[in-house]
Amino acid sequence: MNSDLQLTKDFPILDRKVHNTRLVYFDNAATTQKPEAVMSAMTQYYQTSNANVHRGVHTLSDESTLAVEKARKTISSFLGADASELILVRNTTEALNGILYGWALHNLAEGDVVITSQLEHHSNFVVWQEACKHTGAELKVIPVLEDSTLDYKWLEANVAHAKLIALTYVSNAVGSVLDVERVVTVAKKVGARVAIDGAQAVAHMPVSFKSLGVDFFAFSGHKMYGPMGSGGLLVRSELFKSNEMQPWLFGGGMIAEVYENKTKFHDDPIERFTAGTPDVASAVGLAAACEYLSKIGMKTVEKHDEELVAYAFEKLQAIPQVTIVGPTSKRVGSVSFLYEGVHSHDVAQVLDSQGIAVRSGHHCTMPLHVANNWIATTRASFAVYNSKEDIDLLVLGLQKVAEVFGK
């Protein structure tokens, strides 16, 4: 397979120059660029159908309602879920907070255990600290092994009394991939719910919520070529039916009847969990992103990612000053590294001066960085529009770091 999918033409921003050179964008784990198809779907919605949903009995309102529900179907089907299992939110962080406010505060108590890991993005860490603070449950943190994969044996030995296991599918810091099946097997032994932070998985590999067999799955649309402010929380439908999962936003749109002394919420879970005016345009844009990815084919996307990761690994490993961090075998989406004697912010700045955008710092994974004594790392993360040629430019760019810092 050609490692260049030749998709740059679909992304207008990739035409621009940074410091008078072609932009090489390797900050895709933070947010991806958006294809023309996503932007034009959103513009089209605003130009033809914009109106508030449900409330108006008029043509535009009906079209708007249809647009958001069609988008919900497209997005949920892309992720192997039913439309009735998808709550649209702004990003992964909001989705995880939805589990905190909609589930954890109602279902956790003293004596219960919540398990997360050292590998997590702060968004899948701080919420569980808060959950435990407010309910008296205990937070346990799975340590990572030397290659930044999880110590599953530790999980198996410490799972007693767990009510929730919340883990990232793909690490944004080192690209390691969770063995979801193993986690679900362990969780089932004690009846714990499983929440997956899918932020770094959805743009890189096929995902089927139903096949994973987890209870919650959080993701950001803006990291999968969709607009900023788009994302979702998938919730297994049984949790809605049993009212184990409760609404966490209240007000207009989510009610059936309101009286001075009581309110009845909507029976339909999607209505019940959509308080206020939904962001129809973002939903439409995210649906267009799902269609865009489906057209390429997620198997092709996955293969492309594997090739870029392997190529970057090989090329970066050959640079004497570079130490790649994280797993040596399976990794998805990114390669992170330390550059001997130079802080990652300086590395990133020298690369930026050559039009290459990478991320530097702790990538919102302080527990992982502290556990490994890394002050900061540099991350190149990949997308469908990146090619091996881009990685060659990154390698050339790093030679300049050596020149500037004399290292």
Residues with catalytic function: 364
* In the complex, minimum distance from the CB of residue 381 to ligand PLP, in angstroms, rounded to a whole number: 9
* Residue 32 is a binding residue for ligand PLP (CB under 6 A): no
For tokens 């767990």, name the residue. Answer: 162
In whole angstroms, give the CA distance from residue 76 to residue 8: 27
137 neighbors 113 (Cβ within 8 angstroms): yes
Is 85 near ligand PLP (CB under 6 A)? Answer: no
Residue 186 near residue 57 (C-beta atoms within 8 A)? no
Identity of the residue, 121 or 354, whose beta carbon is nearer to ligand PLP in the bound complex: 121
Between CA 48 and CA 69 the distance in angstroms is 17
* Shortest Å distance, C-beta 18 to ligand PLP: 22
Indicate whether 172 belongs to the interface with ligand PLP (CB under 6 A): yes
Q: Which residue is nearest to ligand PLP (CB)?
A: 172
Least separation in angstroms between residue 14's CB and ligand PLP is 21
Residue 290: CB atoms within 10 A of its CB come to: 23
Residue 360 Cα to chain centre, angstroms: 18
- Per CB under 6 A, does 123 bind ligand PLP? yes
Q: Which is nearer to ligand PLP, 206 or 321 (CB)?
A: 206
User: For ligand PLP, which stretch binds (CB under 6 A), given 61-69, 116-124, 265-273, 329-337?
Assistant: 116-124
Q: Phi-psi category of 136—alpha, beta or left, where left has phi over 0 and alpha has psi -120 to 50?
A: left
Identify the bridge partners of residue 360 per DSSP, sorted by sequence position. 378
Taking alpha carbons only, the member of 354, 348, 350, 338 closest to residue 403 is 350
Q: How far is the CB of 363 from ligand PLP (least distance, A)?
A: 7
Give the residue, chosen from 197, 215, 305, 390, that forms a contact with ligand PLP under the rule CB under 6 A: 197
Closest CA to 382 of 7, 119, 79: 7
Query: Binding ligand PLP by CB under 6 A: which of 199, 275, 356, 394?
Result: 199
230 binds ligand PLP (CB under 6 A): no
Which listed residue (28, 32, 92, 360) binds ligand PLP by CB under 6 A? 92
Task: Tell me the window of 10-18, 193-201, 232-240, 257-265 that interacts with ligand PLP (CB under 6 A).
Answer: 193-201
Report the residue number, 122 or 400, with the smaller CB distance to ligand PLP.
Answer: 122
Of 43-51, 90-98, 262-270, 286-294, the window that binds ligand PLP (rule: CB under 6 A) is 90-98
User: How many residues lie near ligand PLP (CB under 6 A)?
Assistant: 14
Which range touches ligand PLP (CB under 6 A), out of 195-203, 208-216, 322-330, 333-341? 195-203
**At 368, phi and psi to the nearest 5?**
-70, -45
Q: Residues 287, 77, 229, 293: is their CA dihedral positive or negative?
A: negative
Least Å distance, CB 90 to ligand PLP, is 8
Q: Within 13 Å, how many C-alpha atoms sit on residue 40's CB side?
A: 7
The verdict on 200 binding ligand PLP (CB under 6 A) reads: yes
| Nearer to ligand PLP among residue 65 and residue 200 (C-beta) | 200
The answer to the question of residue 215 lying near ligand PLP (CB under 6 A) is no
The minimum distance between CB 331 and ligand PLP, in angstroms, equals 14
Pick the stretch among 118-126, 327-335, 369-377, 386-394 that binds ligand PLP (CB under 6 A): 118-126
Tell me which stretch binds ligand PLP (CB under 6 A): 120-128, 146-154, 288-296, 370-378. 120-128
> Interface with ligand PLP includes 220 (CB under 6 A)?
yes
Residue 54 buriedness (CB in 10 A; 0-12 / 13-18 / 19+):
middle
168 binds ligand PLP, rule: CB under 6 A: yes
Task: Give dist(CA 173, CA 171) in Å, integer.
Answer: 5
H/E stretch holding 132: helix 126-135
- 231, exposed or middle or buried, with CB in 10 Å at 0-12, 13-18, 19+? buried
3-state SS assignment for residue 405: helix
Give 251's Cβ-side CA count (13 Å radius).
6
Whole-angstrom distance between the N-terminal and C-terminal Cα of the chain?
37
Looking at residue 380, its amino acid is: A
Contacts with ligand PLP by CB under 6 A lie at 29-30, 91-93, 121, 123-124, 168, 172, 197, 199-200, 220
